[in-house]
Chains A and B, each alone.
Chain A
């Protein structure tokens, strides 16, 4: 205990900062790590506030995916006869909707998060990356509520609950990572160009239809699937679906392509954001 404190003190005492006009291009990951507790507190604040303000918070989180599931099942599953690759359509679509909504909520929150934090940004210093990251995290509880609904529905449709379920969190994490990666770009762009905000809704909507949410991956021709998987949400949804409701093997290469795309967008986003954040206080 004493030694920890001593070493912390020594580390802080030796801190020398040079302030220069030129924006730094470095990622400064150690600094982000240093502020990890703030990330935790901001996520905690968002979740706290969200469920405090709306008495219907939990109900709302239940209602949204269930209502969408019912609508899609009726119109797409039954009337339009969209295939569902062996599993009952309602389950197939719910297993797609849950990670999708997690992603879309996380992405739209994080894209607007920096602009919405104007006061913090102009009054306190901390690595701004924390802001979109926290916004992503605050989408988790809604997802968890929906996830329990899905698990509860599985026996009703005669689908066994297996150990594969344990792999699902990996794809949930990947969904959050994709949202964070894209959120980095959009939130920074949003500071500089205020019309980005209007594009976000459209982007998310269009993105949903190029992702196998309301239809299974199997409707996409084989030869296009790897190209299709450059949309990182393809790997997320497909991986999640297979770990929860479908008992087929994981489409390894598709998931790899999606992970690769995520890493590229994330790395670029981090560099772009870290560079842009140095001017946020002046233009926000």
Chain B
């Protein structure tokens, strides 16, 4: 029997509308005063409503106590907006939500970290920002330090940390939050494999302890293994709600329909006022149509720089269908005046494994500021090639499938006695 107290989150037709055009988001006081007085004297009609977009619309669902709910969907589907509403960072434009219990949210790893402060100081600061009480932080301090594996660097300013250490510390603080409802946005995408595994384990523990978790990820393996249920958001609307395996399965089937050439119109293009992505395409360099494991590929990015000179790093991530990043590559620093540019990256043949691959792109300005980020801009299938590798027909194991140099020759006369290499002092 389900009682109403079992339901800890109730969303009822939630909607959120944002105004379009980042530059118009805030105005100047001078303009507003000038505009209002103009209207006052000229008896002009009120200006038309600025164009807006529904980031989230008509989303209703319930989460019961102790459930771990995965939230999936493409970028811009409204996942983060949903979590921001449930974390009380922003208000819904329509609908209502009811939350029973203390919410701790982790929408970004290391929010409020200060580079000048030491690891120890940041644990206290970050803990307080995330809503922990001082006494709580003191009590869990040793656990946090141990989990982060920063040991001797505890009293070093975090600006001297490696990015891995920084992420570990940031996650460690957050992982020791103790709310009844935990809201997490894609934090497992950071850190090395060992640490990711540890984080997943920690999240498993959290859900075992009976707390309710809402969790966004592009890592479908994580969603399937951690979450009992999943919500699929598509263009702001709830597309499917149910058992996580089914929802992920349906989602993957749709998302990974190949799209090898993507062209955006001006108002849809990912970007900001300084830079717009215009086109991304992937094509076989040997002129063939189908892409196989042997095919060398050319990945082309066309983008326009609008107003001023930019120092950029164009980065892309190649992901496989499980959401694992196969590799990340970037242009190094390029100095570009306003204009339209095309950057081409060549991926050699005999490198990728068969399967569906997707490309996410990111532009970084001055080696520090993320300007534009867009996931899954192109999606392509790599076919298995019958004459590529002998007679093995099953899917090759591994994330990549490189053709490597091998040499085999007679070793007679060179073999050392096994005892010589096998013995240790």
Bound form: Cα–Cα A121–B29 in Å: 22
* A195 and B108 contact, CB distance less than 8 A: no
* A17 and B99 contact, CB distance less than 8 A: yes
Stretch of B130-138, B242-250, B256-264 that contacts chain A: B130-138
Known A49-B116, A123-B111, A126-B131; contact A192-B91, beta-carbon cutoff 8 A: no
Bound form: Cα–Cα A122–B87 in Å: 10
Bound form: Cα–Cα A40–B135 in Å: 14
* A194 and B26 contact, CB distance less than 8 A: yes
B24 CB to closest chain A CB, in angstroms?
Answer: 10
* A125 and B87 contact, CB distance less than 8 A: yes
* A16 and B100 contact, CB distance less than 8 A: yes
Cβ-neighbour of A45 out of B84, B91, B125 (below 8 A): B125
B259 CB to closest chain A CB, in angstroms?
Answer: 30
Bound form: Cα–Cα A281–B25 in Å: 11
Contacts of B101 in A (CB 8 A): 12-13, 15
Total CB contacts across the A-B interface at under 8 A: 121
Contacts of B92 in A (CB 8 A): 19-21
Chain B 82-126 per-residue mask, 1 if CB under 8 angstroms from chain A, else 0:
001111111111111111111101011001101011000100110
Chain A 38-73 per-residue mask, 1 if CB under 8 angstroms from chain B, else 0:
101110110011001100000000000000000000
Per the CB 8 Å criterion, the residue count for chain B at the interface is 46
Known A20-B96, A123-B89, A279-B91; contact A53-B116, beta-carbon cutoff 8 A: yes
B46 proximal to A (CB < 8 A): no
Bound form: Cα–Cα A274–B104 in Å: 21
Most buried by B among A19, A45, A48, A122: A19
B129 proximal to A (CB < 8 A): yes
Bound form: Cα–Cα A85–B90 in Å: 54
B27 proximal to A (CB < 8 A): yes
B38 proximal to A (CB < 8 A): no
Known A37-B128, A53-B116, A195-B28; contact A282-B90, beta-carbon cutoff 8 A: yes
* A281 and B90 contact, CB distance less than 8 A: yes
B180 proximal to A (CB < 8 A): yes
A119 proximal to B (CB < 8 A): yes
Residue of B nearest to A5 (CB): B135
Residue of A nearest to B179 (CB): A12
Residue of B nearest to A18 (CB): B98
Cβ-neighbour of A124 out of B25, B89, B91, B180 (below 8 A): B89
* A19 and B125 contact, CB distance less than 8 A: no
Bound form: Cα–Cα A16–B250 in Å: 34
Contacts of B369 in A (CB 8 A): none
Contacts of B121 in A (CB 8 A): 45, 48
A123 CB to closest chain B CB, in angstroms?
Answer: 4
Contacts of B91 in A (CB 8 A): 19-21, 23, 278-279
A29 proximal to B (CB < 8 A): no
Bound form: Cα–Cα A37–B125 in Å: 10
Bound form: Cα–Cα A153–B412 in Å: 94
* B90 and A124 contact, CB distance less than 8 A: no
A283 proximal to B (CB < 8 A): yes
Bound form: Cα–Cα A21–B98 in Å: 12
Chain B 125-167 per-residue mask, 1 if CB under 8 angstroms from chain A, else 0:
1001111011000000000000000000000000000000000
Contacts of B96 in A (CB 8 A): 18-21
Q: Which of A162-218 contact B (CB under 8 A)?
A: 189, 191-196, 199
Contacts of A16 in B (CB 8 A): 98-100
Known A12-B180, A278-B91; contact A124-B27, beta-carbon cutoff 8 A: no
B30 proximal to A (CB < 8 A): yes
* B180 and A13 contact, CB distance less than 8 A: yes
Contacts of A74 in B (CB 8 A): none
* A15 and B100 contact, CB distance less than 8 A: yes
Bound form: Cα–Cα A16–B405 in Å: 63
Bound form: Cα–Cα A163–B79 in Å: 62
B32 proximal to A (CB < 8 A): yes
* A124 and B26 contact, CB distance less than 8 A: no
Cβ-neighbour of B107 out of A44, A124, A196, A283 (below 8 A): A124
B12 CB to closest chain A CB, in angstroms?
Answer: 10
* A21 and B89 contact, CB distance less than 8 A: no
Known A12-B180, A119-B111, A120-B112; contact A19-B131, beta-carbon cutoff 8 A: no
Bound form: Cα–Cα A17–B116 in Å: 36
Contacts of A52 in B (CB 8 A): 116-117
Bound form: Cα–Cα A42–B84 in Å: 23
B134 CB to closest chain A CB, in angstroms?
Answer: 5
B19 CB to closest chain A CB, in angstroms?
Answer: 8
B61 proximal to A (CB < 8 A): no
Residue of A nearest to B95 (CB): A21
Q: Which of B1-45 contact A (CB under 8 A)?
A: 18, 25-30, 32
Sample of 30 A–B contacts (CB below 8 Å): A12-B180, A15-B100, A16-B100, A17-B88, A18-B98, A19-B85, A19-B98, A21-B91, A21-B94, A21-B96, A38-B129, A40-B128, A48-B117, A49-B117, A52-B116, A119-B111, A120-B111, A120-B129, A121-B89, A123-B111, A124-B87, A124-B89, A124-B107, A124-B112, A124-B130, A194-B27, A282-B90, A283-B25, A283-B26, A284-B26
Shortest Cβ-Cβ A-B pairs, 4 listed: A193-B29, A41-B128, A195-B28, A19-B97
Q: What residues of chain A have their CB less than 8 Å away from a CB belonging to chain B?
A: 12-13, 15-21, 23, 37-38, 40-42, 44-45, 48-49, 52-53, 119-126, 189, 191-196, 199, 278-279, 281-284
Q: What residues of chain B have their CB less than 8 Å away from a CB belonging to chain A?
A: 18, 25-30, 32, 84-103, 105, 107-108, 111-112, 114, 116-117, 121, 124-125, 128-131, 133-134, 180
* New contact pairs (9) apart from A19-B98, A20-B91, CB-CB < 8 Å: A17-B99, A17-B103, A18-B98, A20-B92, A119-B111, A120-B112, A191-B26, A281-B84, A281-B90
